[in-house]
A and B are shown apart, each in its own frame.
Chain A
Amino acid sequence: MKKVLLSTSALALVAAYTSNASAAEWEVRVGGYSTQQIGFATSDVDGLVDEDFDGVDTVSDTEIFFLPSITLDNGIRFGANVQLEGNSGGDQIDESFVFISGSFGRILIGSENSAGYIMKIGAPSVSVNGHNSGTLTAFIPFSGNAGSAASGGPVATGDDTFRGTLYSTNLENRRNNDVGRITYFTPRLVGIQVGFSYARDANEDNDIQVDENNAFGNFIDIGANYVQSFGPIDVAVYGRWGITASSPDGLDNSQVYGVGGTLGFAGFTVGASFAEQNNAGTDDGQSFDVGVAYETGPWGFSFSYLHGSNVDDENAAFGLDEEVDIFVAAVNYSLAQGVDLNVFGAYVDFEEDAGDGTGFDLEGDFVATSGNDVDGFVIGTGIALSF
C-alpha cells in the first residue's frame, strides 16, 4: 500500500504534533483501492419467461482506508484502520478498528473479520472479479431474487453468497462478518502464526447489549497458517476453526472449519481451500476452490474454480439444497505499482434441488417444482487501482 499523506488535514495534524517535543509522531495515511469493471454478460434463469439479463454492464468497487498510526519510543505501534466504502451501501464503513502491534504480536479491537478469516489461504487468482467472494453476482443473477413481474418473476435463486458457502471459502461463523471483536495474532515464529478472536455477539456497528440467553453467541475463532520458502519453492498452508460457545436450548453450537494451501515454483502457484459451516440453519454448507496462476514480469494468468453448496433458504423446510460451479480465467497486466489492467471470463452454473412453490398440495402430497437454475457467462475488462 502506497504511503500517501492526506494533503490537508493530515499534514496539518502532523505539523501540529511535531511542534511538541516528542520522538513519536502521528502519521495519518490514506489508502484503499478502486476497481472498475466493464463486462458483457448473458444469463438464463429457469422459471422466468423471456427474461433479459444480457448486455454490457459496469461494476464498481471502491474503498478508502484511513490509517493513522504512531510508534512509541518503546517500539509499540498504535493505530486505527477505518475503511469507507466508495459506493453507497448498507455497510458504509465496514472495518473500523484499533490495532496495537509490537514484538508480542498484534492486537485488533473493533469491527473486523475474525482471525480465521484473515489468515485464510486458498486458490490463487489474478482476476479483478474472483471465483471466490467476487462480484460475479453483479453480472449473473445467481444470488437473491432474480427477474421482474414482466418475466413471471421474481424467483428466488441462490442464498448465502456473502461470507457463506455458495460463493466463498472465506467464511465467517453464521456469516457474522465485521462484528465488534477482539483478535490477537502471535508473532510469526519459524513461519507459523496463530490468531485468536472473540466476539460476544454478531452485532456490527451498534453496541446493543444482546441478551445471550437461549441465543447463538460468544463467537470464538482460531486460525493458524504456515508460510515458508524452501529454496525456490514457496509453501503456505492454513487451518481454522470457529464456534459459538453458546447456543439456544436444544441446538448445537454453530461451527465453521477451513483448510487451504498454496505451492509456488518458478512463477507458478497452485492452491486450494475447503470450508464448511455446520449447525447454523440455512447458512449450512460446504465449499472448495482450486486454482493455478502464473506470473512473469508484469503479466499474470490464472484459472480458478469454486464449487459451493448450501441449504436452499426458501426450501430449507424440506431439506433441499442448492449448489454452484464457478470457473474464472483471467489475464492481468501491471502497468505500474498499484495500477492493473485485467481481462477475465467467467462461467457460472447454479442449480437448486427445487424451485419456488415447492410444498404440499391440497391433497397433502409433496410437490417439488423445477429449480430456478441460473446459467451465465461474462467476459469483461477491468482496471484496478490500489494505493
Chain B
Amino acid sequence: MEADEEGDLIVRAAILAAVAIALAGTAGAQSVLPLRPLTDPSTSHSAATADGRPGEIGAIQYRRDDRAVTATPGFGEAGDRGVSRLTYFTPSLGGLHLGAGVGAVDPAFDNAGDGQGSSADVSALYAQRFGSVDLAVSGRVGLALGAGTDSSVGDLYAFGASVGFHGFTIGGSFADSTLGKDIGFTAGDSMGWDVGIAYNTGPWGFSLSYLAGERVDDGVAGGTGIAMGDGDTNKVVAGLRYRLGQGVDVGAFGAFVDPISPGEAEAGTSIGSDVEGFVIGTGIQVDF
C-alpha cells in the first residue's frame, strides 16, 4: 500500500470515528435514513462508537459491532466492544432514566495481555411530553481504567437533546473521547457534534443532518506523548424515507463529506491525505 493510500484510509477512519461518536449522542440529531452509509466496519481498528442508540433508555448500551474508539491498547472504555459488563437501569422516574455500568477490559485492546483494567459508565436520559411538544435530553460520562503494564486513564462524555412538535424533530449532540491522557497517549482522541432536523408525515420522512468531527490522526500522532496531526471532517446528509408497510422502509439519501481544513502532513509525506466525496443512494430496510 502506498503511503498516500494508507493516509487516505486513516483520514477516512478518522471521519468515520467522528461520525460514530456523534451518532452516539443519546438524544442527538434525527435522521430518517434507512441506512447508515457512512459507517464502515473495515476501519474497526481506529473508528469509533461510544454508546447506545439515540433516544433509548440510558446510555450504556454498547453496540456489539466492530467499531471501537481506538486501537490504543489497554482501555476498557477505549476499545470497548461488547465486553463482559454489568449494567443497571432505573425505572422511569417522571421521565428520568438513570443507568450505570461497570465492565472488563476488552482483551483485544489489552496490550499487556494481563486482563487487567476496567471501565465504568453513568448516564441519564430525560424524555417527556409537554402538550404537543416532545423533549428528550441525555448525558453520559465514561471512564476507563487501565491497570498493570497498561496503567492509564481515558474518559468519554457526551450529551444531546431533541425537541419534537407537529411531526418536526430537531436535535443535536456532542461527544468527546480522551484516551490515556495521564501517560500522554493522544492517538485516538476525538470529538464530534451534530445537528439535524427531520419531518415525518404519514409514511413519509425527510431529514437534513450535519456532523463535524475531529480526531487525532493515528498516521501522524507519532506515539506516546506526541500530538502532531489531526483529521477532521464535516458531512451533510439529506434523506427521505417512505414506509411501504409494517417494518418495510425504502429510502433515498445524498451525502457530502469534506475535510474542514487541509490535513496535516502524514508521516513520511509532505501532504495530508484529505478525502472528499459525494454519494447518492437508495436503501431498503426491513424490521421484523
**Residues of A near any B CB (own CB < 8 A):** 13, 17, 20, 22, 24-26, 28, 68, 70, 72-73, 76, 78-80, 98, 100, 109, 206-209, 211
Bound state CA distance, A13 and B246, in angstroms? Answer: 12
B245 within 8 A of A: yes
Q: Which of A72, A73, A208 sits near B42, CB closer than 8 Å?
A: A208
Chain B residue with Cβ nearest A20: B246
Write the B6-49 contact mask toward A (1 if CB under 8 angstroms, else 0): 00000000000000000000000000000000001110000000
Nearest chain A CB to B171 CB, angstrom units? 27
CB <8 Å contact, A70 and B246: yes
Complex interface: chain B residues within 8 A of A72 (CB): 244-245, 248
CB <8 Å contact, A70 and B284: no
CB <8 Å contact, A206 and B42: yes
* Residue contacts A-B, CB under 8 angstroms, 5 given: A20-B246, A70-B248, A78-B286, A100-B284, A211-B5
B247 within 8 A of A: yes
Complex interface: chain B residues within 8 A of A13 (CB): 288
Q: Say yes or no: A78-B40 contact (C-beta < 8 A), given A13-B288, A28-B288, A109-B284.
A: no
CB <8 Å contact, B286 and A98: yes
B:191-249 near A, CB below 8 Å? 244-248
Bound state CA distance, A207 and B43, in angstroms? Answer: 10
Nearest chain A CB to B147 CB, angstrom units? 32
Majority SS at the chain A contact face: loop
Q: Say yes or no: A206-B246 contact (C-beta < 8 A), given A70-B288, A80-B288.
A: no
Majority SS at the chain B contact face: mixed
Nearest chain A CB to B279 CB, angstrom units? 10
Bound state CA distance, A289 and B197, in angstroms? Answer: 60
CB <8 Å contact, B40 and A68: no
10 nearest CB pairs, A to B: A68-B288, A72-B245, A208-B42, A26-B288, A78-B248, A24-B245, A206-B42, A22-B246, A80-B286, A78-B286
Instruction: Kindly name the residue among A28, A79, A208 whose own CB sees the greatest number of chain B CB atoms within 10 A.
Output: A208
Bound state CA distance, A17 and B41, in angstroms? Answer: 31
A26-B247, A78-B286 known; 7 new pairs, CB 8 Å cut-off, are: A28-B288, A70-B245, A70-B247, A72-B244, A76-B244, A79-B286, A80-B286
Chain A residue with Cβ nearest B284: A98
Bound state CA distance, A1 and B246, in angstroms? Answer: 25
CB <8 Å contact, A207 and B246: no
**Residues of B near any A CB (own CB < 8 A):** 5, 40-42, 244-248, 284, 286, 288
Bound state CA distance, A212 and B227, in angstroms? Answer: 34
Nearest chain B CB to A202 CB, angstrom units? 14
Nearest chain B CB to A108 CB, angstrom units? 11
Chain B residue with Cβ nearest A107: B284
CB <8 Å contact, B246 and A26: yes
CB <8 Å contact, A207 and B41: yes
Nearest chain B CB to A140 CB, angstrom units? 37
Bound state CA distance, A162 and B42, in angstroms? Answer: 25
CB <8 Å contact, A17 and B246: yes
Chain A residue with Cβ nearest B283: A109
Complex interface: chain A residues within 8 A of B288 (CB): 13, 26, 28, 68, 70, 80
Q: Which of B5, B41, B42, B244 sits near A78, CB closer than 8 Å?
A: B244
CB <8 Å contact, A206 and B247: no
Nearest chain A CB to B24 CB, angstrom units? 19
Nearest chain A CB to B17 CB, angstrom units? 16
Nearest chain A CB to B273 CB, angstrom units? 13
Complex interface: chain B residues within 8 A of A25 (CB): 246
Instruction: Kindly name the residue among B246, B247, B288 whose own CB sees the greatest number of chain A CB atoms within 10 A.
Output: B288
Complex interface: chain A residues within 8 A of B245 (CB): 22, 24, 70, 72-73, 78
Bound state CA distance, A22 and B244, in angstroms? Answer: 12
Q: Say yes or no: A206-B41 contact (C-beta < 8 A), given A22-B246, A72-B245.
A: yes
Nearest chain A CB to B108 CB, angstrom units? 18
Complex interface: chain A residues within 8 A of B284 (CB): 78, 98, 100, 109
CB <8 Å contact, B286 and A68: yes
Bound state CA distance, A17 and B245, in angstroms? Answer: 12
Nearest chain A CB to B232 CB, angstrom units? 20
Bound state CA distance, A68 and B247, in angstroms? Answer: 11
Complex interface: chain A residues within 8 A of B41 (CB): 206-207
Bound state CA distance, A22 and B247, in angstroms? Answer: 11
Complex interface: chain B residues within 8 A of A211 (CB): 5
Complex interface: chain A residues within 8 A of B42 (CB): 206-208
Bound state CA distance, A13 and B247, in angstroms? Answer: 11
Bound state CA distance, A176 and B16, in angstroms? Answer: 27
Complex interface: chain B residues within 8 A of A100 (CB): 284
Complex interface: chain A residues within 8 A of B247 (CB): 17, 26, 70
Complex interface: chain A residues within 8 A of B40 (CB): 207-209
Chain A residue with Cβ nearest B282: A109
Bound state CA distance, A209 and B41, in angstroms? Answer: 11
Complex interface: chain B residues within 8 A of A68 (CB): 286, 288
Bound state CA distance, A73 and B246, in angstroms? Answer: 10
Nearest chain A CB to B239 CB, angstrom units? 18
Bound state CA distance, A26 and B286, in angstroms? Answer: 10
Bound state CA distance, A178 and B112, in angstroms? Answer: 38
Bound state CA distance, A71 and B40, in angstroms? Answer: 32
